[in-house]
């Protein structure tokens, strides 16, 4: 019986870059919309779970007139000396107009992450 092997960090990063490039090409097709001006993200905090893994939390609000089915929040991660150590993204679903929705997302990181900053929000409806 074959055993499952973990994905190598370089392969994971390459897969992430490929996915990001694919997502960046979709706006021309009308599938994605960068709406950072229409969405507020506040109270961003980096905490630790019980095992010490980084968790990004905060809240998000849509200022649009119609519901958002899927919003992808992209964050930049920083280390102990404020150097950029990577990036991550996660999904917030079913955001209603004017609604504040809290989020808390585990971040997979191989380095010491000390801070996170929202880079962009992309809507996929």
Neighbour-count burial for 35-66, b at 16+ CB within 10 Å, e otherwise:
beeebebeebebeeeeeeebebebbbbbebee
**One pLDDT digit (tens) per residue for the chain, 125 residues:** 454 455 556 566 555 544 444 444 333 333 344 445 789 999 999 999 999 999 999 999 999 999 999 999 999 999 999 999 999 999 999 999 999 999 999 998 878 899 999 999 999 87
Separation CA 107–CA 56 (nearest Å): 7
Q: What is the reported pLDDT for 105?
A: 94
User: Is 33-123 CATH 2.60.40.3230?
Assistant: yes
Q: What is the reported pLDDT for 91?
A: 95
Q: What is the reported pLDDT for 11?
A: 60
Q: What is the reported pLDDT for 26?
A: 38
Looking at residue 29, the DSSP 8-state letter turns out to be G
């Amino acid at each position: 019986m074959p055993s499952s092997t973990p994905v190598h960090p370089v392969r994971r990063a390459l897969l992430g870059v490929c996915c990001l490039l694919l997502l960046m090409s979709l706006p021309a097709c009308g599938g994605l919309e960068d709406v950072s001006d229409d969405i507020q993200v506040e109270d961003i905090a980096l905490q630790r779970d019980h095992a010490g893994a980084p968790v990004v939390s905060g809240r998000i609000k849509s200022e649009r007139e119609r519901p958002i089915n899927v919003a992808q929040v992209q964050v930049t991660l920083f280390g102990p000396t404020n150097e950029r150590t990577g990036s991550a993204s996660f999904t917030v679903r079913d955001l209603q107009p004017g609604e504040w929705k809290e989020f808390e997302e585990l971040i997979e990181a191989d380095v010491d992450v000390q801070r996170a900053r929202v880079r962009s929000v992309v809507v996929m409806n």
